[in-house]
Amino acid sequence: MNISDYKGVMVFAEQRRGTVQKIAYELLGVGRRIADTLEEPLLALLVGHGLPDSAAAELIAQGADTVVVVDDPALEVYMTEPYAKAMTAAIERYKPGIVFTGATTIGRDLAPRVSARVRTGLTADCTGLEIEDGTRNLLMTRPAFGGNIMATIVCPEHRPQMSTVRPGVMRRLERDDSRKGSVEKLAVKIEAKDKNVEILEVVVEKAAKKNIEEANVLISGGRGLGNLDNFNKLQGVADELGGLVSASRAVVDAGWVGQDRQVGQTGKTVRPDVYFACGISGMIQHVAGMEDSDFIVAINKNSAAPIFEYADVGIVADINKVVPALVEELKAAKAAR
Which of 119, 133, 134, 189 forms a contact with other proteins (CB under 8 A)?
119
- Distance, in Å, from the CA atom of 322 to the CA atom of 224, rounded to the nearest integer, reads 12
Residue whose CB is less far from other proteins, 31 or 82: 82
What amino acid is encoded at 57 in this protein? A
> In this chain, which of 187, 192, 204, 208 binds other proteins, going by CB under 8 A?
204
Give yes or no for residue 22 binding other proteins (CB under 8 A): no
131 lines the binding site for other proteins (CB under 8 A): no
Strand 128-131 and strand 138-144: pairing? antiparallel
Q: Smallest Cα–Cα separation from 221: which of 242, 240, 236? A: 236
Q: What is the rounded end-to-end Cα distance, in angstroms, of the chain?
A: 67
Shortest Å, Cβ 20 to other proteins: 14
Residue 76 within binding range of other proteins, rule CB under 8 A:
no
Q: Please enumerate in sequence order all residues whose Cβ is within 8 A of that of 334, keeping only pairs 6 or more positions apart, or say none.
A: 240
SS3 157: coil
The span of 2-10, 93-101, 173-181, 203-211 binding other proteins (CB under 8 A) equals 203-211
Quick note: the x/- pattern for other proteins over 33-52, rule CB under 8 A, is --------------------
What is the amino acid identity at position 194? D
Closer to other proteins by CB, 182 or 216: give it: 216
Query: Considering only CA atoms, which of 173, 189, 188 is closest in space to residue 65?
Result: 173
Question: Which is closer to other proteins, CB of 45 or CB of 250?
Answer: 250
CA distance 24 to 28: 6
Among residue numbers 312 through 331, which ones bind other proteins (CB under 8 A)?
A: 312-318, 321-322, 324-326, 328-330
> Of residues 37, 54, 182, 196, which one binds other proteins by CB under 8 A?
196
Decide if 256 contacts 228 (C-beta within 8 A): yes
What part of residues 251-270 is at the interface with other proteins (CB under 8 A)? 259, 265-266
